[in-house]
Copies of this chain bind each other. A is one copy, B any other.
Amino acid sequence: MPRDVSIAVVGATGAVGLEFLKVLEQRAFPVSSVRLFASPRSVGKQLAVNGKPVSVEQTHPGCFNGVDFAFISVSSELSEELAPQAVEAGALVIDDSSAFRMRPEVPLVVPEINGQDMEEHRGIISIPNCSTTQMVMAIAPLHAVNPVRRIVVDSYQSVSGAGSGAMEELRSQANATLTGEDDILSSRIAFNLRPQIGDFLSSGYTKEEEKMSEETRKIMHAPDMAVSATCVRVPVLVCHSEAVHIESEGPWSVTDARNLLANFPGVSIIDNPQAGEYPMPWDLAGTDDVYVGRIRQDWSHPNGLAMWVVADNLRKGAALNAIQIAEEVLRRDCLKPTSSLSQASSA
């Protein structure tokens, strides 16, 4: 049994941060002490951690001293500033932003898929983008048996991916529309769709769509896997959904694919279409698994398989994956890096 550890949660009052504290308690993660950090406007708030109130602080020099794990869920810009400070102080950073994901020296980890990558960490382990995580969970068990050459994926992403403010905004927009007090001028998402998540690149893809391509290749150790995504924000509060079409080296039997998925840890099958059973986001918010349904041979490609994948983007897409990484770090006993990103000695 590993010793209890000291943790810091940065971005504790955000949608992912709050979910993180829930998951921490639900999984009885072995903490000896918890520090909570957030932006100045949240300082002084108290949040329950394992049933006890903990005050939210602002980060400051030295705030990561004595911390074993720093869980960071803030903007990339802020992560770039804070993560090195935490590493310097001897903490292992588990970072939810895109700041470090594609750096060659930073493991990008979904424990069920590439847990071994974390053993090479140098102070930072990145969590993949939420839309990537649930997709690779559904593809990894298939890829292991019948290599996947190409993925076409179109996403249906909930507003919680943009934070708790976006959830409130959806509710208030929907209410304004229903009551006829509708003066929503921009960024309407209620009863609407927005086919943009993240900034646009010169390729015409968005940053979010690029993440789904690049991160998938990195996590799967599949540099030649082709991935084309269209990422769309939908008026759903929690859970991302994805229509996924894969092309493999050889043909698929639906039975084989279903068995591979059903036997993969963290994946559940909901696929009884004749009974109207398939994964739907409203039903699955607050749960841990990645749910796969609508599994069928893709009749437009001899080696194709199509499926529908739903997961709670705040849990497996973020908070749960972060804690699973920490659990796996303890299991593999690799809290301290073999070589550090910085030359600082551990505190």
If A191-B236, A192-B282, A241-B195 touch, whether A203 touches B297 (CB-CB below 8 Å) is yes
- Taking a contact as CB atoms under 8 Å apart, the answer to whether B282 and A213 are in contact is no
If A228-B304, A245-B228 touch, whether A191 touches B282 (CB-CB below 8 Å) is yes
| Neighbouring B residues of A226 by C-beta, 8 Å | 299-301
The interface stretch among A95-103, A109-117, A132-140, A272-280 is A272-280
14 contacts between A and B (CB under 8 A): A154-B154, A154-B243, A170-B191, A178-B178, A191-B237, A192-B281, A195-B241, A195-B293, A196-B278, A203-B296, A228-B299, A228-B300, A228-B304, A230-B245
Q: Which residues of A contact B (CB under 8 A)?
A: 150-152, 154, 156, 170-171, 174-175, 178, 188, 191-196, 200, 203-206, 213, 226-228, 230, 232, 234-237, 241, 243, 245, 254, 273-274, 276, 278-283, 293-301, 304, 306, 308
- Taking a contact as CB atoms under 8 Å apart, the answer to whether A204 and B294 are in contact is yes
Q: 7 shortest A-B CB distances, which residue pairs?
A: A204-B296, A226-B300, A228-B300, A154-B154, A192-B282, A154-B243, A230-B243
If A245-B152, A308-B230 touch, whether A278 touches B195 (CB-CB below 8 Å) is yes
Question: Taking the nearest CB of chain B, how far is it from the CB of A194, in angstroms?
Answer: 6
Contact of A156 among B156, B281, B283 (CB under 8 A): B156
Question: Taking the nearest CB of chain B, how far is it from the CB of A293, in angstroms?
Answer: 7
| Neighbouring B residues of A191 by C-beta, 8 Å | 170, 235-237, 282
| Neighbouring B residues of A301 by C-beta, 8 Å | 150, 226, 228
Question: Taking the nearest CB of chain B, how far is it from the CB of A199, in angstroms?
Answer: 9
Which partner residue on chain B sits nearest A226 by CB separation? B300
